[in-house]
Amino acid sequence: MIRRVVVLSACLILWAAYVAHATQPELVPLRQPLAKLSKQIGPWAGRDEPQLTSDIVSVLGVDEYINRDYYDPSRRIPSSVALYVGYYKSQREGDTIHSPLNCIPGSGWEPVKAAHAAIAIPGREPIVVNRMVIQKGADKQVVAYWYQAHGRIVASEYWSKLFMVYDAVRLNRSDAALVRVISPVLPSENDETPAQQRVTQFVQALFPRLEAHLPS
pLDDT tens digit sequence for 170-214: 888 888 999 999 999 988 888 999 999 999 999 999 999 998 898
- Domain 28-210, what fold? Protein Transport Mog1p; Chain A (3.40.1000)
User: 49-84: per-residue pLDDT in tens?
Assistant: 988 888 888 888 888 999 999 998 877 666 799 999
Residue 106 pLDDT more than 80? no
Q: Which candidate, 109, 95, 106, places its Cα nearest to that of 177?
A: 95
Q: What is the residue extent of each domain of the chain?
A: 28-210
Query: For position 126, what pLDDT does the model report?
Result: 94
27-54: per-residue pLDDT in tens?
676 688 999 999 999 999 999 998 888 8
Residue 15 has pLDDT above 60, yes or no: no
- Report the predicted TM-score, pTM, of the whole model to 2 decimal places: 0.83
For residue 122, the model assigns a pLDDT of 86
